[in-house]
Amino acid sequence: MNSVPAVPLTRPMPLVEWLASAAPIPYRDALATMEARAAAVIHGAAPECVWLLEHPPVYTAGTSADRSELLSPQRFPVYRTGRGGRFTYHGPGQRLAYVMLDLSARGRDVKAFVASLEDWLITTLALLGVEGERHPGQIGTFVGGAKIASIGVRVRHWVSLHGVSLNVDPELEHFSGIVPCGLKDVAITSLAVLGAETDMGRVDDALRAAFEEIFAETALSANDPTRSP
């Protein structure tokens, strides 16, 4: 597989490597690249990594997905994936952060890890002037009753795969082809709808600053702008 173009973010960080891809990455290619990096982390051959990217329009199904919740199966490519959760949409204008982190060094508590990812999203939104919240019994982040960010992870040998998605300025109508995360009566919103920041670079800066606050770590700068996770 050709390497996926990615460029490092600018601020120096020493433990977790951060990469950002400018152009949308096809889902199948991203999945293969992410799994290869997670395997390298498992074997101690690469540092932990957070990869910021977008996908072309796609529906993905988690391990709890119900086929009846795929309302428009011919609309976009559909991929079944090993992450937790149900159906979701990914597309341009939505920031994904794939996290390949070693949970052996983070307490080996998947529930606590997911809660930390929610804290990360809520803190990111706060830095962007938006008040995010949890909904009891539901995973993800909400604003005023509408969902703005989703979480779906998989853990292999205590290294995480997949991660979070934040709606910056995606085409929200595309969510109508599924029951997003199985939530029939919950609206989907975005930073654009809320009149908040939509510059992806500034959103990335907020994601990184919030990550450092929640996980109390800094990231490792990559020197090669063509490298992949």
pTM check: above 0.85? yes
Contacting residues for 109 by C-beta, under 8 A, at least 6 apart:
103
How buried is residue 23: exposed, middle or buried, by Cβ count under 10 Å (0-12/13-18/19+)?
exposed
Pairing of strands 78-80, 7-8: unpaired
Tell me: pLDDT of 182 over 80. no
Which residues is 133 bridged to in the sheet?
142
- The CA-based diameter of the chain, rounded to the nearest angstrom, is 46
* 58-77 confidence digits (pLDDT tens): 999 888 878 888 888 889 99
Contacting residues for 162 by C-beta, under 8 A, at least 6 apart:
34, 81, 83, 98, 99, 152, 153, 154
* 20-54 confidence digits (pLDDT tens): 999 999 999 999 999 999 999 999 999 999 999 99
Two tokens, residue 107: 């307490």
Active site residue 181: yes
Residue 31 CA to residue 148 CA, distance in Å, equals 23
Two tokens, residue 35: 């799994």
CATH number for region 7-220: 3.30.930.10
Is there a contact between 181 and 151 (Cβ–Cβ < 8 Å)? Answer: no
Nearest CA among 198, 193, 218, 213 for reference residue 92: 198
Residue 67 CA to residue 138 CA, distance in Å, equals 20
Residue 117 CA to residue 121 CA, distance in Å, equals 6
Q: Where do the DSSP E strands lie in the chain?
A: 7-8, 16-20, 49-53, 58-61, 78-80, 87-90, 94-100, 133-135, 138-143, 146-156, 159-167, 219-220
Selecting among 181, 188, 191, 214, the annotated active-site residue is 181
Portion of the chain with pLDDT greater than 70, in percent: 88
Residue-level pLDDT at 73: 86
Helix or strand run (H / E) with residue 120: helix 110-127
Decide: helix, strand or coil at residue 193. coil
Helix or strand run (H / E) with residue 207: helix 200-215
* 96-144 confidence digits (pLDDT tens): 999 999 998 888 999 999 999 999 999 999 999 999 999 988 889 999 9
